[in-house]
Amino acid sequence: MSKSAIRSSQFYFILHAVICFFLIHTSDGARRYSQNQQFASSGADYYKILGLRRNAKAKEIKSAYRKLALKYHPDKVPAEERESAEQKFVKVNEAYAILSDDEKRKVYDKYGRKGIEAMEKGQDPSYSGANFGGGGPGSHHFNFGAGFDPFNMFNQFFQQDERGPSRKQHFEELFPVGDSPVARLGKKKFPDSNSKFIWLVVFYSNKSEECVQAQGDIKKLAEGMKGTVKVGAVNCDLEHIFCKEMNVEPNDFPSFASVLQGDVQFYQDSFSTRALHEFTIEKLPYHLIKNINSIPHIQERLMNHQKDRRNAMLLLTDKYETSPLYVSLAFEFRNKFIFGESRAKNLALAKEYGVKKYPLLIALISKNGNNPDIIKYTGPIKGAAISKWIYKVMNQIKGNKSR
């Protein structure tokens, strides 16, 4: 080659170097150079390892790591794939270790792997000979310090993820206060010996699939027993100590108990609204109803039963069995009245009280003589209506005494 050709070649080499230097050190040229360097090689960068765009949000990074870490964990693949999976598992953890840390991610985005290496050594990343985000680990692997353990990182991630707020499940309240026929109970509101009502109580958890499935049937049961038995619910997610005191364990949900004057009796069979209804009806205090078969029984069994409580309620009916509704009323007003019942169309009593239609409920208000005053109930045969009438009778008695 001639000397002139050599000089010409040297000239163009120098000119090319100057142009490259100029392009790299202008803002637009530096940006283009960074992008070219970043995507030039076929080796994936940390974003590509996790299958993300470079502007991915934190929750996207976390989601991608969760998916890939589980996919490539050596314990979750066949034996013949473990070596390959472990290599990918390590890279996935390296990528997440950088991109999940805001400060490291900024350094990586600006200076690439070498910037991170400098940062790990306590050096200024801007003087690290950084390659402007030049690709992922590829053939270059580093340990983020001697203490980096991808398996430990995996375990910590999933332990924290399970109890952290971002993964916390919000379970719908099955029996919300004020928006359900089922009353909410707890230790402080649990029915005791002074309770006016008979209760069927369900111990439940919003997390229990069995409770979720039973929710609708329990509400229907509560609607069907309204006026006779109160249905209440104890949320064992909130009242776990109380539920433990009641010997209700998580694998027992839902558990049911009849509660009468503080006495708790648990239902032992499998869940069935029909069986639960029968269980509850069987527990009613039928002994509170005095059987009245004749006119002398009125005085003997009702009016003279207790000197301090001589007022009475008498139900005349054509039925052969005592109504659960009547038993519940007898329980509610057990401290105010003696309750009696004449069943199966007793002719003598029907004539005595002028029964035109069954059932007939009458209040027998004691006087100094043997013949009590009679107040007949003429409203609907519903628990709430009858209860309201009985309170009215009580106020009338109180008013008479004050005169």
Q: What is the largest CA-CA distance in the chain?
A: 149
Q: Which domain holds residue 343?
A: 286-402
* Residue 171 in domain: no
Domain boundary among the residues 248, 282, 316 is at: 282
Same-domain pairing of 300 and 388? yes
Same-domain pairing of 275 and 302? no
pLDDT the model gives residue 42 = 29
Structure tokens at 79: 């034996």
Q: Determine the 3-state secondary structure of 183 from DSSP.
A: strand
337-375 residues labelled b (16+ CB within 10 A) or e (exposed): bbbbbbbeebeebbeebebeeebbbbbbbbeeeeebeeb
Gap between the Cα atoms of 227 and 327, Å rounded: 11
* Residue 172 in domain: no
Same-domain pairing of 66 and 128? yes
* Residue 143 in domain: yes
**CA dihedral defined by 289, 293, 298, 302, rounded to 10 degrees?**
-20
Q: Place 403 in a pLDDT band, splitting at 50, 70 and 90.
A: low
Domain boundary among the residues 112, 133, 163 is at: 163
Same-domain pairing of 137 and 213? no
Same-domain pairing of 53 and 158? yes
Q: Determine the 3-state secondary structure of 27 from DSSP.
A: helix
pLDDT the model gives residue 134 = 41
Domain boundary among the residues 282, 299, 330 is at: 282
Gap between the Cα atoms of 111 and 105, Å rounded: 10
Same-domain pairing of 22 and 130? no
pLDDT the model gives residue 135 = 42
pLDDT the model gives residue 205 = 94
Same-domain pairing of 91 and 48? yes
Gap between the Cα atoms of 373 and 400, Å rounded: 12
CB atoms within 10 A of CB 141: 11
Same-domain pairing of 220 and 234? yes
pLDDT the model gives residue 35 = 35
Same-domain pairing of 216 and 267? yes
* Residue 93 in domain: yes
Please tell me the least confidently modeled range out of 199-203, 245-249, 368-372. Answer: 368-372
Please tell me the least confidently modeled range out of 4-13, 113-122, 285-294. Answer: 4-13
Give, in order, the Cα–Cα distances in Å from 387 to each of 88, 316, 324, 392.
Answer: 74, 17, 14, 9
* Residue 292 in domain: yes
pLDDT at 88 over 60: yes
What is the Cβ-side half-sphere exposure of residue 83, based on CA atoms within 13 angstroms? 1
The residue whose two tokens read 């790591």 is 65
Same-domain pairing of 292 and 383? yes
Backbone angles phi, psi at 44, to 5 degrees: -75, 145
Same-domain pairing of 35 and 65? no
* Residue 57 in domain: yes
What is the Cβ-side half-sphere exposure of residue 7, based on CA atoms within 13 angstroms? 3
* Residue 176 in domain: no
pLDDT at 168 over 70: no
The mean pLDDT value for 292-321 works out to 85
Could you tell me the pTM of the whole model?
Answer: 0.57
SS (H, E, C) 55-84: CCCHHHHHHHHHHHHHHHCHHHCCHHHHHH
* Residue 305 in domain: yes
Same-domain pairing of 146 and 50? yes
Domain count, the chain: 4
Q: Are 214 and 271 in contact (CB under 8 A)?
A: yes
pLDDT at 13 over 90: no
CATH code at position 69: 1.10.287.110
CATH code at position 368: 3.40.30.10
